[in-house]
Structure formats: structure tokens, C-alpha cells
Structure 1
Amino acid sequence: MEYDALIVRTDFGDEGAWEAVLRELHPEFRVLDRDGASTEEAWTAYRDDEDLSVVFLADRHTMTSPDRALLALNLGWEDTSTLDPTYYQDLVDHPEPRELRVMPGAVHSVHVNLQLANMDFAEFADEAATSPGGVVHPL
């Protein structure tokens, strides 16, 4: 279970799109249904889970976009807007990204690398920023 990615399905408008997402996912994942949950609600619900560093949302964008990219939420993200720049200038200038899009075929790799601390969320965000469509693609 430690290496099973958590997929939170928040959009139920297109069962065919959901089935397409499932076909592309690595077999080690678990799904929770939260119809209509917002990004903020999902982040708040799972941010204190010590066994997770990321949660993936199958949201409206996932179901309507041709690439079916899921929204990855960085559960270790912290709001740096209230930090004193005198002591935390680097964090204020370069805050950790809170979210990014991930192709279903890359979900397992992103999840495992974050769980093992082989990579951090910012590295995946950098990868997404330079890839087609601004999403993390499978290797």
C-alpha cells in the first residue's frame, strides 16, 4: 500500500474518459470517490496524512482534456507568503510548487519517486514546465 498512488476522482461526467484513465494507470493505485470536491478540499483532506507526499485528482480537466492529465497536489506544500524574508528569503523567492499535471502513465513514477525522496515536487514541476502541454509524461 505504501507505493500505491492515491487517485481522488472528483468528476463523474464521463465514464468513458474515466475508463481511459484507468487503462493508462500503473496497476498499483487506489481510488477514492469525492464527487465535486475542489482542489482545496482535497488538499486539506490529505495534507496531514504522513504516508502520502502527493495525491492525484481525476478532475474535470482530466476527463475533458485529450491527454487525460491528472492534477498532482503537493501535500508537503506550505504557504510562504507569511514568512519573514529576512530569514527565509530563498523560500519566499522560490516557493515550492503546489500542483502540476501528470499523464496517467507517469502517475506511478511520480508517486514512488516522491515517496522515496528520490526527487522532489519542484523537480517534477520543472520537468512539466519544459514538456509538451506542461505535463509530466511517462519515461
Structure 2
Amino acid sequence: MLPDTKDVLVLRTDFSDDGKWEKICNWIAEPTPKDGFKAAVYFLSEKKFGGLESEELLTGIAKNYKHFFIFIVDSTTIAHMEHPVLCIDLKDNPGDTLRVIPSEMYSIENNLSISNMNFEEFKSSVDSDGVFRGFR
């Protein structure tokens, strides 16, 4: 079972490269250069979650988990050149997904956490490869 956390979870499910995991965490935590915005997230790296699939994740979230979404650093995140993190909707359409580059995670976290935007608004703004790289 995944823990309930104050901030949105960034869950590591791929343990093939510790160095990439650390770099991805640093990119996610870095404030935006212009405005200083950053994602309010909690990084969770426990090997017991290695290889966890989306379906298993949906059944393993604590009933009191108060966030509307979760971020996953999986094998695609580690292997892809841009390291797009998987984001899973837990509210409007549970199980719906999109990918987001680490430097844009603040936008999703900030807006979804305060219900300023919904998951579908971000999903409709992904590029043709399904990755959100910011609003153009």
C-alpha cells in the first residue's frame, strides 16, 4: 500500500539507474528560472515498488490519499532521452495517463492540486507523442 503524503507522490518503480533517478529528482525539484515555481512533491524510492504497474498502483493507493494524481518514474522515464514522467489521474477518470517532462511537472502539480485546471486540460495539450512539454 502506498502511503498518504502531504505532497503529491513521485514514485520510483524502475531501479535500473540510481544516477538517472537522482538527476530526474533534481530536475523536478528545481524552481522555474523566471518565476521560481516548483512542484510540491514527495519522492518515494523503495525497492518494494519496483516494477509496479498502473493497475496495481490504483488498487494500492491508501484510501486517505488526498491527491488527485500521482507521478511515476518508470522504465520509460529512465530510458527516454527527455525522461518523461508518467502522471496518472486518480479523480476524474482514474487510470487515465499522460507523460510530462520533469521541468514542467510544477505546472501540473500546481494547477491540479488547487483545482485550477483539470487533468483533461493537460492531456489535451500534450504533443503528438503524448508528452506534455508546457503550454505553447
Give the TM-score taking structure 2 as reference length: 0.76
Give, in whole Å, the separation in 2 of the partners of 1:26 and 1:132: 26
| In structure 2, distance between residues paired with 1:62 and 1:53 | 21
Amino acid at match of 1:58: V
Q: How far did residue 44 of structure 1 move? A: 2.2
Over aligned residue pairs, what C-alpha RMSD do you find? 2.2
* Letter matched to residue 57 of structure 1: I
Matching residue of 2:113: 115
Distance in 1 (alpha carbons) for counterparts of 2:27 and 2:79: 16
Long gaps (5+) in structure 1: 80-96
- Residue 76 of structure 1 corresponds to 91
Match of residue 69, structure 2, among 54, 59, 79: 54
| CA distance, structure 1, for counterparts of residue 13 and residue 109 of structure 2 | 19
Q: In 2, are the aligned partners of 1:46 and 1:75 still within 8 Å (CA)?
A: no
Task: Tell me the number of residue pairs that the alignment of Structure 1 and Structure 2 aligns.
Answer: 119
Q: 1:11 maps to what in 2?
A: 14
Q: Deviations over 1:38-81 (max 9, x none)?
A: 111122222744510110000000000001001000011447xx
Q: What is the deviation of 1:29?
A: 2.0
What percentage of aligned pairs have identical amino acids? Answer: 29
Partner SS state of residue 125, structure 2: helix
Contact 1:8 1:56 in 2 (8 A): yes
Q: Which structure has more helix as a fraction of its residues?
A: 1
* Equivalence for 1:64: 79
| 8 Å Cα contact 1:43-1:73 kept in structure 2 | no
Please tell me the residue identity of whatever aligns with 1:134: G
TM-score (norm 1): 0.74
Alignment-mate amino acid for residue 135 of structure 1: V
Distance 1:70 1:62, change over 3 A: same
Cα offsets for 1:98-126 (capped at 9, x unmatched): 00001111112201211111110000000
- How far residue 134 of structure 1 moved from its aligned partner, in angstroms, is 2.4
Is 1:30 aligned with 2:75?
Answer: no
Larger radius of gyration: 1
